[in-house]
Structures are given as C-alpha cells and as structure tokens.
A and B are shown apart, each in its own frame.
Chain A
Amino acid sequence: KAGVTQTPRYLIKTRGQQVTLSCSPISGHRSVSWYQQTPGQGLQFLFEYFSETQRNKGNFPGRFSGRQFSNSRSEMNVSTLELGDSALYLCASSRGGAPDTQYFGPGTRLTVL
C-alpha cells in the first residue's frame, strides 16, 4: 500500500512569509504527527492530530499550527517565518497513534532565507 506522502518535498521561503506543508497518511490511518528535524535540535515533536482534533502538542510557539481534514490528510502552517525555522519537517501516520505503529514520510525540506 502507498506510504506517507508529503508535499512539497522542497521549499524556499523568505523571512516573514508563511508556509503550508501537507501530509497524506497511509490509507486507514487516523493519527498524524508532525516533527521538526534540525542539525542542532534533532527531532522535535510538534503536534499530533487524531480524527480532526489536536491530541498532543509539543513546545513550539503559536506560529506553528496544524489541522486535519475528514480524510485524515493534515496540513501544517508556519506563519512569520524565521531563519531558525529552516528544517526538515516530517510527518508520521498511524492507525491509533501508538508510536510503534507510526510510519514516517520523507519530509519537506524548508529553507528560510
């Protein structure tokens, strides 16, 4: 079956702009989690959505937000981009949210200039 897909794969933005990233989970999966990966901070949990509701949230500023649609697809939005937001953004999907059943997508590489 098809894996987790993320679009776009690469993105270049400038400071102050906003960006929306998309994640399509594996068919049948209702949980989508988002992570930020940077060389300095490693992998950091952003938030998790399950059945269109945010169920868990990491320690990121309010500029980072997300949502989930009825078909389980999820979007992540970052407003007022800063240089430090440059990172690989990964999403992971699972049926119920258990971490040992999560499958990661390839990520979206965001560069903020």
Chain B
Amino acid sequence: GQQLNQSPQSMFIQEGEDVSMNCTSSSIFNTWLWYKQDPGEGPVLLIALYKAGELTSNGRLTAQFGITRKDSFLNISASIPSDVGIYFCAGYHGSSNTGKLIFGQGTTLQVKP
C-alpha cells in the first residue's frame, strides 16, 4: 500500500538535545498529522496541520505543513527520557470527515539520560 517516506528510521540522542524528523510524499495531502506510539499502546495524536506553510507548536514539539503540501517535519526541543517512542507522520486525503490516513514508516527515538 501507499506509504510516506519518513526519516530518519531511528535516532539515539542525549537528553537535552533537539530532534528533527520529516516526511515526504509524492501525493498532496489536505492534512498532516504527527503521532507518538508507546510500547503496547496505540498511536496518540501530537499535532495536526491543516494548511500549507502552517507552523504549529505543542509544548516542546513544533511541526510544519510543507508549502508544496507534500512534506512535513516535526521538531522536538530539549528532549527528555519520556520522549522515547515511535513517531509517525500521517497524511490525509479526502473531505473533512471521510477519507484515509496514510502513515509513514515511523521514527524510533531513544533518549540517553
């Protein structure tokens, strides 16, 4: 099935460092979403982006909807141990309440205290 190209696949960083990950697609999306998944749990929505060029923050997280509508990035500033997990980007086709989510392969983040 269709997937987004998410990079990097994994990161191992020191506590306090900033993190950046991105997603690219050959298709245009109406909405970009970023999720975090902890072991044994389902993904939890972190940030939703609705317009090209939009920059949105949620605490130490900042995400942007690319101008071309084919890419998005997520930054985490001053990482802490609880940031450990798998981060997914997802693009959404369709109208406001019906459509499909296309996910990236995920970025596994490990933080060394």
Contacts and interface: CB of A to CB of B under 8 A. Distances in A.
A4 interface: yes
A48 interface: yes
A95 to B, nearest CB: 9
Contact of B90 (A58, A99, A106, A107): A99
B100 A102 contact: no
A90 B48 CA distance: 20
Contacts of A45: 1, 100-102
Given A43-B88, A44-B1, A105-B42, A98 B104 contact: no
Most interface-central of A4, A31, A50, A98 (chain B CB within 10 A): A98
Interface residues of A, number: 27
23 contacts: A4-B42, A35-B103, A41-B1, A42-B88, A42-B103, A43-B43, A43-B88, A43-B90, A44-B103, A45-B1, A56-B94, A56-B99, A92-B42, A99-B90, A99-B99, A100-B33, A102-B45, A102-B101, A104-B41, A104-B42, A104-B44, A106-B40, A107-B41
